[in-house]
Copies of this chain bind each other. A is one copy, B any other.
Amino acid sequence: MTQQAFLRVGLVQQPCGEHDPALNLDRSVGAIRDAAALGARLVVLPELHLGPYFCQSEDPLLCDLAESIPGPSTHLLGALALELSIVIVASLFERRAPGLYHNTAVVLERDGTLAGCYRKMHIPDDPGYYEKFYFTPGDLGFKPIATSVGRLGLLVCWDQWYPEAARLMALAGADVLLYPTAIGWNLDDSSLERARQLEAWVTVQRGHAVANGLPVLSCNRIGHEPDPSGHSGGIQFWGNSFVVGPQGEFLDRADDQEERILMVDVDRRRSEEVRRMWPFLRDRRIEAYGDLTRRFID
């Protein structure tokens, strides 16, 4: 495994609202090519980037959008990874068997192979995000994916609220945490509430970086997507993709509107330095953590 001091990463913040998946994918591929031309060796796409965030309503017909893994998208992106000699992280609606679907992130290695995948473990279900209808909770656990650019602690969206997921990836040797995401505002909420939500989302992920001494890469979509059921005003995806270092310090952050590639040189040596100074893993009271596997302590 090549271990240069710096890893140049590219996060693609883009809209994904076209109903023809080819149009969204064209946009992603263009950005991946641009990122590679700028020297990125790892490129990350937002969650479920092939189309509108379809979980705003519950419709069995939408399962037609799912595909197998490996399948058409991993073949196409694998070929691109090989051509550009980079690692690509993508996010797909996986059809595993009839009636068995997952929200799955995939890693394409620079030799074109599928390095591994992660099936989203924590599945949300709240107004506008009816994911429990579509996605079976992941059954692969929290295992970093070994690649030529390091061990990727790949998680997805709702996972980002769970310190357990971040910690388990760190304990399993992740070099970095990655969160392809699709999250936004309900425009019926007040501007104060919207500000709190966005700040909470950024803060909890920065907290994972701090607690685990790891860089965190979070890649979200932008744009407004209407609610096909007409029950709500749709979702205004809030962008704000970011990269932070192992003290939670911002290395780059997008705003809530711009379509752009975040290009960051992540210093691989910094985690070691930070963890020596703040050796949190040393002092975990593992013999006192057993109740973390309980739902609640009544």
The reply to whether A297 and B163 form a contact with Cβ atoms under 8 Å apart is: no
Interface of A is mostly: helix
A19 within 8 A of B: no
18 contacts between A and B (CB under 8 A): A122-B285, A142-B288, A162-B280, A163-B163, A163-B207, A163-B211, A164-B167, A171-B292, A171-B297, A173-B296, A199-B247, A200-B249, A204-B211, A207-B207, A207-B210, A284-B295, A286-B294, A290-B293
Q: Using Cβ atoms and an 8 Å threshold, which residues of chain B touch A164?
A: 163, 167, 284-285, 289, 292
8 new A-B pairs (CB below 8 Å) besides A122-B283, A161-B278? A142-B291, A161-B280, A162-B211, A199-B249, A203-B248, A207-B207, A207-B210, A207-B211
The reply to whether A247 and B200 form a contact with Cβ atoms under 8 Å apart is: yes
The reply to whether B196 and A247 form a contact with Cβ atoms under 8 Å apart is: yes
Most B CB within 10 A of own CB, among A196, A211, A248, A278: A211
A32 within 8 A of B: no
Q: Mark A139-168, 1 if CB is under 8 A from B, else 0.
A: 001100000000000000010011110111
A110 within 8 A of B: no
Q: How many copies does the complex hold?
A: 2
Q: Nearest chain B CB to A281's CB is how many angstroms away?
A: 7
Binding site for B on A (CB under 8 A): 121-124, 126, 137, 141-142, 158, 161-164, 166-168, 171-173, 196-197, 199-200, 203-204, 206-208, 210-211, 247-249, 277-281, 283-297
Determine which of B123, B126, B249, B296 lies in contact with A171 in the assembled complex, contact meaning CB atoms within 8 Å. Answer: B296
Q: Nearest chain B CB to A140's CB is how many angstroms away?
A: 9
The reply to whether A248 and B200 form a contact with Cβ atoms under 8 Å apart is: yes
Distance, CA A168 to CA B293, complexed state (A): 10
Distance, CA A167 to CA B277, complexed state (A): 24
Q: Using Cβ atoms and an 8 Å threshold, which residues of chain B touch A173?
A: 296-297
Name the residue on B nearest A298 (C-beta).
B173
Nearest first, the 6 A-B pairs at minimum CB distance are A207-B207, A163-B163, A204-B210, A172-B297, A200-B247, A196-B247
With A123-B283, A162-B284, A163-B211 known as contacts, the answer to whether A289 contacts B278 (CB < 8 A) is no
The reply to whether B286 and A289 form a contact with Cβ atoms under 8 Å apart is: no
Q: Nearest chain B CB to A141's CB is how many angstroms away?
A: 6
Q: Using Cβ atoms and an 8 Å threshold, which residues of chain B touch A122?
A: 283-285
Q: Using Cβ atoms and an 8 Å threshold, which residues of chain B touch A286?
A: 292-295
The reply to whether A283 and B158 form a contact with Cβ atoms under 8 Å apart is: yes
Q: Nearest chain B CB to A135's CB is how many angstroms away?
A: 12
Distance, CA A211 to CA B280, complexed state (A): 19
Name the residue on B nearest A189 (C-beta).
B277
Distance, CA A206 to CA B211, complexed state (A): 12
Q: Using Cβ atoms and an 8 Å threshold, which residues of chain B touch A121?
A: 285, 288
